[in-house]
Amino acid sequence: MRVLGIDPGLTRCGMGVVDGDVGRPLGLVDVNVIRTSSHLSVPDRLVTIERGIEAWIEEHRPDAVAVERVFARSDVSTVMGTAQASGIAMVCAARRGIPIALHTPSEVKAAVSGNGRADKAQVGAMVTRILRLDAMPKPADAADALALAITHIWRGGAKARIDAAVAVSRQARPAVGPAGVRR
């Protein structure tokens, strides 16, 4: 499985591609950061991010895209930019029919380090170890993108199978209306 991990951000959008399967060593394919200037308008910055993500999808052909789930921070402007970049990432994947998974920061930290409250240095160190890299990916957005991809490979496949089984079981049940009357 090849997963594109995206750590969304308006100034720095981390991108990391990892190949692998559960129970097998994972391999780094590529890692980088899409940067935009704060001097540009937000729409122009979003277009830059979209073009960068589209180019990565075209070049690396991922089987899935894992995006960090946006969570509320104290600075509303930061949340807005992160949410906008996240939306762009999801649209780029959805446009091509690539499955999309959202993973929370604490889920990613727990998956790669065993601690849902790990700091950026701990996550970076574990990404370096898991992918057998010579040096920690810089900046932290790049390491976070790789951590998202790793998390999805390790946890995303199982979650997708559970979600599919639940969907099948819902379809198999007869629809029941008010007062137990079958429709």
Query: Domain segments of the chain: what residues?
Result: 2-180
Task: Assess whether 141 carries a catalytic annotation.
Answer: yes
Task: Assess whether 30 carries a catalytic annotation.
Answer: no
Given a cut of 70, whether residue 160 has pLDDT beyond it is: no
Q: Which two tokens stand for residue 94?
A: 């959805």
Q: Is 68 annotated as a binding residue?
A: yes
Task: Assess whether 144 carries a catalytic annotation.
Answer: no
Mean predicted confidence (pLDDT) in 118-144: 97
pTM of the model: 0.86
Q: Is the dihedral of CA 135, 141, 143, 145 positive or negative?
A: negative
Q: Which residue has the higher pLDDT, 48 or 170?
A: 48
Do β-strands 100-103 and 64-68 pair in parallel, antiparallel, or remain unpaired? parallel
Determine the pLDDT at residue 172.
77
* Domain covering 2-180 assigned CATH 3.30.420.10 in the classification: yes
Catalytic choice (63, 68, 107, 119): 68
Q: Is 21 annotated as a binding residue?
A: no
Catalytic choice (50, 141, 144, 163): 141
Mean predicted confidence (pLDDT) in 46-68: 98
Determine the pLDDT at residue 168.
77
Contacts of 79 (CB under 8 A, 6+ apart): 70, 72, 73
Contact 165, 181 (CB under 8 A): no
Mean predicted confidence (pLDDT) in 93-105: 97
Contact 4, 57 (CB under 8 A): yes
